[in-house]
C-alpha cells in the first residue's frame, strides 16, 4: 500500500489552502479549517475516514506519495530546463543608442558612441552563429529577441537582413522561428509594419510611462512627447501585424498609477485582447505597500485594465517554468552590437560581464570561468530558497544576480521582497477566477 504525507508546499492563506508546487487552491469555510489541519497531520486517519476527499487532496497536491520528493523533482526540472532544453533565445542589440533619455534607464547614453551600431562584419558573424547553432548545435527552436538601446534605429540595416537569413535557415531545417522586439515604438510606421510581416516579427514589448502628460514628461525630444503617436502604433500593430502579441509595459513610479487608467480609452476595444499589460515598478523607486504587502492602487488599476478587456501579468508569481528568468537557460545569450556576448540584457555591457565572443565559424568562445560559476548549481541553491514553501513560484534569483552574489558583487535578495502584490492577493484572485470559471461552465 502506498504511504502518503502532506506536501511541504502547502500554504494556508486565511481560509484558503494553497499549494505552490501544483499552483492549486481550495477555499474552505472557517469552521472546516481546524478539521482539515488535523487530517493533514493525520494522513492515515484522513485516508480511512474520508477516502473520496483524500483522493481529491492527492490530485491537488496537498497530499503526496511519501516516496515522491518534491524538492528533488524541482531540482531535476530546473537542471533540465536550464541545461538540456535547446530552444535557443538569442537577444541581439543592433545598437545601444536611443532616441530617448529616460531618467531610470540603466544604460548611460553619454558613454555610448554615436552611430555605434552593429557593422557588416559583425552582422555576418551573427548570421554564421545562427547557422552554427542550427546545423552544429541542433537547436530545437530559434527565438530572436531584439533589444538595445532602441533596436529599430537600425531596423533595415540589422534586424531585417538577419531575420530574413534566420527564417530561411529555420525553414530549411524544419525548426520553429519566433521574432520579438523591445522598442519604444517611435520609429514604427506603416512601411515598417509591412516589413514586420515579411520577417515574422509579431511579438512586441512597448513601454508606456503613464497617461499622456506623464509619458510625455519621461519620453520626449526637447520637450516634445509622443504619447499619441505611440498609442496609435499600438492600435496599428494589433490591426496590421499578423498574429500580433503585444506587451504594454507600464513603468510606474509613485505618481504614475494615479492617472494611468486614462490609457485604456486610447486602445481600441477590439485590440485589447491582443495586449498584455505588464506593471513594472521603476527600480530606483521604493516599495509602496500596506501591512498585507500590497500596493492597493496597483491592484485597483490592474483589475480596471482586466475589466476593460486587457490581459495583465505580474512578475512575482510564475508557476511551473522551473527557472526564474528566460536568461537562466544555457541556451540564451545576448550579442551586443560590437559582437561581444553577455548573459543578461539588464546590465551595463562591461568587459567583466562579457561571457565570450563569436568566432569566424559562428561558435562562441566562452569564458569558462564565468560560465562554470553561473551553471555549476541551481540559482536557488541556498538555505533560504531550499526551505521556502514559495520556491516553485520563483525559483530563486535570476542567473545574473546569482553570479554576482557568488563573486561578492552583491548580496542575495529574495524576489518577493520587491513585489507590490502579495501571495495572499495572488491566491485569492486565483480562487475567484476558478469560481467564476466553474460558474460559467
- Phi and psi for 11 in degrees, rounded to 5? -135, 125
Please indicate whether residue 415 or residue 177 has the higher confidence score (pLDDT).
177
CB-based contacts of 393: which residues, under 8 Å, 6+ apart? 20, 23, 316, 317, 318, 319, 423
CA–CA dist 178, 301 (Å, integer): 31
* Cell numbers standing for residue 276: 498584455
How many CB atoms neighbour CB 164 within 10 A?
Answer: 15
Q: Say if residue 440's pLDDT is above 60.
A: no
Split at pLDDT 50, 70, 90, the class of 438 is: very low
DSSP string, 242-310: TT-EEEEEEEE-TTGGGTGGGGGGGS-GGGGGGEEEEEEE-TTSPP---TTS--HHHHHHHHHHHHTT-
Indicate where the chain has its CATH 3.20.20.70 domain(s): 69-441
Q: Say if residue 312's pLDDT is above 60.
A: yes
Q: What is the mean pLDDT of the chain?
A: 94
Instruction: Enter the DSSP assignment of 80.
Output: I
Q: Say if residue 356's pLDDT is above 60.
A: yes
Q: What is the mean pLDDT of residues 32-36?
A: 96
Residue 437 is predicted with a pLDDT of 46
Q: Say if residue 180's pLDDT is above 90.
A: yes
Percent of the chain with pLDDT over 90: 88
* Cell numbers standing for residue 400: 545574473
Q: Say if residue 187's pLDDT is above 90.
A: yes
Q: What is the mean pLDDT of residues 377-394?
A: 95
Residue 99 is predicted with a pLDDT of 92
Instruction: Enter the DSSP assignment of 19.
Output: E
Residue 115 is predicted with a pLDDT of 63
Q: Say if residue 441's pLDDT is above 50.
A: no
3-class DSSP state of 91: strand
Angle subtended at Cα 207 by Cα 264 and Cα 242, rounded to the nearest 5 degrees = 80
DSSP string, 298-356: HHHHHHHHHHTT-EEE-TT--TT-SSS-GGGSTTEEEE-TTSEEES-SSS---GGG--E
Q: What is the pLDDT of residues 213-267, one digit of tens each?
A: 999 999 998 889 999 999 999 999 999 999 999 999 999 999 999 999 999 999 9
* Cell numbers standing for residue 114: 554615436
C-alpha atoms less than 13 angstroms from C-alpha of 193 in its C-beta half-sphere: 18
3-class DSSP state of 14: coil
Residue 62 is predicted with a pLDDT of 98
Q: Which of 4-18, 71-85, 254-268, 345-359 has the lowest mean pLDDT?
A: 345-359
Q: Say if residue 304's pLDDT is above 70.
A: yes
DSSP string, 185-206: -TT--HHHHHHHHHTTEEEEEE
Fold of 69-441: TIM Barrel (3.20.20)
Q: Judge contact between 173 and 117, C-beta under 8 A.
A: no
Amino acid at each position: 500500500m502506498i504511504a502518503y504525507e502532506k506536501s511541504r508546499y502547502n500554504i494556508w492563506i486565511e481560509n484558503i489552502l494553497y499549494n505552490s508546487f501544483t499552483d492549486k487552491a481550495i477555499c474552505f469555510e472557517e469552521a472546516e479549517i481546524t478539521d482539515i489541519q488535523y487530517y493533514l497531520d493525520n494522513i492515515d486517519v484522513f485516508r480511512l475516514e474520508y477516502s473520496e476527499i483524500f483522493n481529491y487532496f492527492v490530485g491537488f497536491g496537498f497530499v503526496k506519495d511519501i516516496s515522491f520528493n518534491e524538492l528533488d523533482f524541482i531540482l531535476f526540472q530546473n537542471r533540465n530546463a536550464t541545461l538540456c532544453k535547446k530552444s535557443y533565445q538569442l537577444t541581439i542589440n543592433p545598437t545601444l543608442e536611443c532616441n530617448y533619455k529616460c531618467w531610470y534607464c540603466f544604460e548611460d547614453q553619454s558613454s555610448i558612441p554615436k552611430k555605434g551600431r552593429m557593422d557588416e562584419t559583425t552582422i555576418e558573424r551573427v548570421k554564421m552563429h545562427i547557422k552554427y547553432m542550427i546545423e552544429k548545435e541542433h537547436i530545437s527552436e530559434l527565438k530572436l529577441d531584439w533589444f538595445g538601446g532602441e533596436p529599430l534605429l537600425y531596423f533595415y540595416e540589422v534586424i531585417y537582413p538577419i531575420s530574413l537569413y534566420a527564417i530561411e535557415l529555420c525553414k530549411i531545417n524544419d525548426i520553429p522561428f519566433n521574432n520579438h522586439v523591445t522598442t519604444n515604438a517611435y520609429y514604427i510606421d506603416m512601411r515598417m509594419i509591412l516589413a514586420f510581416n515579411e520577417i515574422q516579427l509579431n511579438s512586441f514589448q512597448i513601454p508606456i510611462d503613464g497617461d499622456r502628460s506623464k509619458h510625455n514628461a519621461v519620453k520626449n525630444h526637447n520637450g516634445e512627447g509622443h504619447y499619441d503617436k505611440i498609442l496609435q502604433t499600438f492600435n496599428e500593430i494589433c490591426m496590421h501585424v499578423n498574429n500580433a502579441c503585444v506587451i504594454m509595459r507600464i513603468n510606474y513610479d509613485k505618481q504614475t498609477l494615479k492617472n494611468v487608467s486614462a490609457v485604456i480609452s486610447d486602445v481600441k476595444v477590439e485590440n485589447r485582447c491582443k495586449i498584455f499589460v505588464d506593471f513594472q515598478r521603476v527600480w530606483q523607486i521604493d516599495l509602496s505597500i500596506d501591512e498585507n504587502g500590497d500596493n492597493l492602487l496597483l491592484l485597483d488599476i490592474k483589475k480596471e485594465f482586466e475589466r476593460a478587456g486587457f490581459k495583465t501579468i505580474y512578475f512575482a508569481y510564475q508557476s511551473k517554468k522551473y527557472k526564474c528568468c528566460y536568461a537562466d537557460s544555457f541556451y540564451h545569450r545576448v550579442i551586443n552590437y560590437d559582437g561581444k556576448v553577455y548573459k543578461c540584457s539588464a546590465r551595463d555591457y562591461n568587459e567583466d560581464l562579457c561571457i565570450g565572443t563569436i568566432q569566424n565559424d559562428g561558435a562562441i568562445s566562452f569564458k569558462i570561468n564565468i560560465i562554470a560559476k553561473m551553471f555549476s548549481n541551481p540559482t536557488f541553491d541556498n538555505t533560504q530558497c531550499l526551505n521556502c514553501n514559495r520556491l516553485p513560484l520563483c525559483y530563486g534569483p535570476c542567473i545574473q544576480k546569482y553570479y554576482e552574489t557568488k563573486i561578492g558583487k552583491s548580496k542575495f535578495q529574495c524576489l518577493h521582497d520587491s513585489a507590490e502584490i502579495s501571495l495572499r492577493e495572488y491566491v485569492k484572485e486565483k480562487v475567484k477566477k476558478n469560481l467564476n470559471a466553474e460558474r460559467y461552465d
